[in-house]
Chains A and B, each alone.
Chain A
Amino acid sequence: MAGTPDDRRSTARGDGAVATDASLPPSAVDPKVRDAEEKKWTPGKIALWVAIALLGGVAWFMLAIIRGETVNAIWFVFASVCTYLIGYRFYSKVIERYITKPDDRRATPAEYKADGKDYVRTDRNVLFGHHFAAIAGAGPLVGPVLAAQMGYLPGTIWIIIGVVLAGAVQDYLVMFFSMRRGGRSLGQMAREELGVIGGTAALIATLLIMVIIVAILALVVVNALAESPWGVFSVGMTIPIALFMGVYLRFLRPGKVMEVSLIGFVLLMAAIIGGGIVAETPWGTDIFTLDRVTIAWGLIVYGFIAAILPVWLLLAPRDYLSTFMKIGVIVMLALAIIVVRPEISVPAFSEFASRENGPVFPGALFPFLFVTIACGALSGFHALISSGTTPKLVEKERQTRYIGYGGMLMESFVAIMALVAAISIDRGLYFAMNAPAALTGGTVESAATWVNSLGLAGVNISPDVLAETARNVGEESIVSRTGGAPTLAVGLAHIMQQFIGGTAMMAFWYHFAIMFEALFILTAVDAGTRVARFMLQDSIGNFVPKFKEASWRPGAWLCTAVMVGAWGAVLLMGVTDPLGGINTLFPLFGIANQLLAAIALSVCLAIVAKRGTFKYLWIVALPLAFAAVVTITASYQKIFSPTPAVGYFANNAAFSKALADGKTEFGTAKSVAAMEAVVRNTAIQGWLSVIFVVLSIIVIATALLATVNAFRNRADGTAVKDTEDPARPSRVFAPAGLIPTPAEKELMAEWDKLPPGARFERAGHH
C-alpha cells in the first residue's frame, strides 16, 4: 500500500497546533512517554498476556474442537472474556493509533460547550455505565436465543469475533467522530459527509428501520405476555409504579433519583410476587388472561399515550427503573453462570445448521444467522446512541476507546450469557417453545410428538416435561412461546433456582426475567417512538416549517400517531400472521438493524477517507463489506428466493395461487381470511425488504463515491473540507482507561496540586 496518499503525521492537519495554557499542567500525557510505556513489555506484563491468550485458546478449543457429550458453560465465559481483552488491548489500540488519533490536548464538547446540563464532563467509569445502559436492552437477550437453533458454535463465534472486528469498531468510530463534531447525530453527519442524496436516503432508511425495530421488539413483549395473567399483571403494574415515581420526583422530593429508584425497585419486586398471587385467583385469571391481539392493541394505545405524555411522568422514571434493573440483572446473570456453571448438552452445530427449514427462523446459516444475532455482535441502532448523547459527556478524547469499544464488548458479553442461559435448557423444550403453533399444534401432546418427529440427536421429550416446566414457571403453557424472551426466562430460572431458592423459586425467577425484558423493551418502544416522531417532524418541517416547532401540539400528535400507526401495523401483522410472527418478521429486524450498521459504517468510511487515512481504511471497510454482503444477500433471498419459507414473494405467489385455485386452507393458514392475511403480509414484508436494501445501497454507494473523491483530492493535493469543530485547548486532565497508567497517575498528582480555583476557571464561558 505504498501508493496511498496518507497523512503520515497527524500534526500536519493542525491537530497538534492547540496552544495549551502554560500556567497549567499538561492536559495530555506526553506522547513519547505514553509510547514508551505501551511498548515496554515487562516480564509480568508478558506473562499476563500469555496467560490470557492461553486460557482463551484452551476455552475456544473446548468449545470448538472437543466433541464431548456436554460442554461446561464456564468455557463460554473464558473464551469470550479472553478474546475481548485481547481485542481491546491490541485491536482497538490499532484503531486508536492509526484511525481515530485522539488528542487529549483538545477539549471535548463537554468542556468547550459546557453548560452544566447537556454538555457535562462525566467521570469515565460512570459514563461507561451510562453508555452501556443506553445501548444494551432486550436485543442481545433475544437474538442469540433464536440463533441457538443452529447449535451453539455459530452464534458464539459470530458474537465474539463479530463484536471485536465489527460491532465495537462501529460504536467506537461513530462516538469519536460525533465527539469531534460537537455531538452531532448520525443523520447530520451522513448529510455532511455523503451529500443530499446519501443523507436523505440515510434519514429515510433510519426512520423505517426504527419502525421495524420498535414493532418487532413490541412483538417479543406481546408473545411473552399472551395468555399469561401473571406476566400481564406484573408488567402492567410497571406503569402505575413509574407514574408514582414520576410524581414523587416532580413534586415530592425532586432530584432524589436513587431514593425513588430503590422504592420503585421494591414495588417492582412486590408486583412480581403479587402477580403470582393474583394469577392464582379466579378473578385475576379472568381479567389478566389476554390474547395476543388484545395485548398488541393495548401496547399500541399505550405507545401513543406514553409518547405524548411529558417525559417526567412516565419515560424518565421508567428509564431509572430500567437502568437499575439492567445493571442488577447483568451482574446477577454473570454471577449465576460463574457459580452454577451449567453443563450444556446442545451440539456445537445442530441438524438445522446445514438446512434452511429451521422451525425457529427459516433460511441457511449464511446469511441468516448473522442477521438473527444483530445486537451483541453488530448493531446499527447503537450508532444513534453513540452519536448524540454520550459524546456530549466525554471528558477526554482518549476515553472514547474505553467507553465506545469497551461498552460494546460488554454488550457482547451479555449476549453470550443470554446464549448460555438459553442453551442450558433441554433441546426438546427449546424447540417446543420456539416453533410456531402452526407446527407444534399448541398442546403439550402434539408439541412433544412434533419435536420427537424432528429426529434430533438425543432429543426425546415427553408431554409431562412440558407440562411440568410450565407449572414450575407459573404459566398455563409454554408451548410455542416464540420470541426468545420466554426461553431466556426459562433458562435463567433454571440456572437461578440452582443458585438461590430451588424449584420453588423458579416461577419467581421466570417472571423476574419476563419483567426486566418487558421493561427494557417498553423503554425502547417509548424512546424509539419519540425519537422517530422528532425525526419525522424535522423532515416534514423542511416543507411545512410549522412542524419543526417541537411544542406545536397538533404537529407532535399527528407525527406520533403516524409513527405509532406504522409500527402498530407491523406489530398487528406479526401477531395475526398464521405463519408465526417471529418466524417471518425477526429476519427483517436483523436485516434492518444491520443495514443501519452498514449506513453508519459508510459514514465512518467517508470520514476516515477524508481525514486522509487510506492505509488503514480496511479497518472500516472490513465490517462494512461484511455487513453489506450479509444484509444484501439476506434481502436478496427474502425477495427472490423460490423457497416459500424463505422468500416473501415466493410465499406470496404460493398463497395467491392457492386462493385463485379456490382452496380454503393452505399450509399453516386454515381459512381463506388467514390465506389473504398471508398474501397481504408477505407483500408488505417483501416491499419493505426492497425499500430497505435500495436505500442502503444508495447510502453505501454515495459513501464509496465520497471515499474515492477523497482519495483523488488527497492525491492531487486539493484541500478537503474539514467537518470537525475547530480544535480548542483543553484545561483538564483525566485518565483514558479503567486503570490509570503510571504516567497518568503522575499527571493526575500534578493536577491535584493545583489550587481548586485555578483548575476550571473560565472553563465554561461561552
Chain B
Amino acid sequence: MSTGLAAVTKGFRGFARYLGGVLGADAYAKYLEHHQAAGHGTPPLGEREFWRDRTDRQDSNPQGRCC
C-alpha cells in the first residue's frame, strides 16, 4: 500500500517537475548551474534580480506565440 502511494507521489512529483520545466519555473536553478559551471569570478545574480532581469530582457526581445 505504502509503496503504491510512494509510486503515485513520485509520479506526481515527476509530472510537477516536468510541468515546471515547460513553464520555465526552473530557469533560476539552471542559471545558477550554468554560472557555477562557467566559473565566472563574479557572484551570480540573486533570485529576485534574476527574474527581474529575465522579464525585462523580454521587453526588448519578445517571443512569438502562435495561433
Contacts and interface: CB of A to CB of B under 8 A. Distances in A.
The answer to whether A and B belong to the same complex is yes
Interface of A: 114-118, 120, 122-123, 125-126, 129-130, 133-139, 213, 217, 249-250, 254-258, 261, 310-312, 315-316, 319-320, 322-324, 327, 375, 379, 381-382, 384-385, 388-389, 521, 523-524, 526-528, 530-531, 533-534, 550-551, 593, 760-765
B64 A527 contact: yes
Contact of A135 (B28, B51, B58, B66): B66
A528 B55 CA distance: 17
Contacts of B18: 125-126, 129
B5 interface: no
Chain B interface SS verdict (over half): helix
Given A114-B38, A123-B21, A323-B22, A139 B51 contact: no
A764 B47 CA distance: 20
Given A116-B34, A116-B38, A255-B51, A524 B22 contact: no
A530 B62 CA distance: 6
Interface string B18-43: 11111111011011111101110000
Contacts of B30: 116, 120
Contacts of B48: 254-255
B7 interface: no
Most buried by A among B30, B53, B61, B62: B62
A255 B66 contact: no
Nearest to A114: B34
Nearest to B35: A116
Interface residues of B, number: 40
B37 A760 contact: yes
A231 B12 CA distance: 33
A481 to B, nearest CB: 20
A159 B4 CA distance: 41
Given A129-B21, A311-B59, A120 B34 contact: yes
Nearest to B40: A764
A254 B65 contact: no
A138 B67 contact: yes
Nearest to B51: A254
A327 B16 CA distance: 12
Given A125-B18, A311-B59, A139 B67 contact: yes
Contacts of A761: 37, 39
A316 B16 contact: no
Contacts of A114: 34, 38
A757 to B, nearest CB: 9
Contacts of A254: 47-48, 50-52
Contacts of B34: 114-116, 120, 764
A129 B47 CA distance: 25
Given A118-B57, A126-B21, A135-B66, 17 more contacts: A116-B35, A117-B57, A118-B61, A120-B30, A123-B21, A126-B22, A133-B22, A138-B67, A254-B50, A255-B28, A255-B48, A256-B25, A257-B25, A316-B55, A524-B67, A531-B63, A550-B59
A21 to B, nearest CB: 15
Contacts of A327: 19, 22
Contact of A527 (B35, B37, B63): B63
A623 to B, nearest CB: 18
A524 B21 contact: no
19 contacts: A120-B30, A125-B18, A134-B63, A217-B67, A254-B51, A254-B52, A255-B25, A257-B24, A310-B55, A311-B59, A311-B62, A327-B19, A375-B66, A389-B63, A524-B67, A527-B63, A762-B38, A763-B38, A765-B38
Nearest to B16: A258
B64 A528 contact: yes
Contacts of B53: 117
Nearest to A328: B19
B2 interface: no
A540 B31 CA distance: 35
A379 B22 contact: no
A237 B39 CA distance: 46
B54 A249 contact: no
A261 B51 CA distance: 16
Given A258-B20, A311-B56, A763-B38, A534 B62 contact: yes
Nearest to A524: B65
A323 to B, nearest CB: 6
Instruction: List the 9 shortest-distance A-B pairs measured between CB atoms, nearest first.
Output: A116-B34, A139-B67, A257-B25, A126-B21, A312-B55, A764-B38, A550-B60, A129-B22, A530-B62
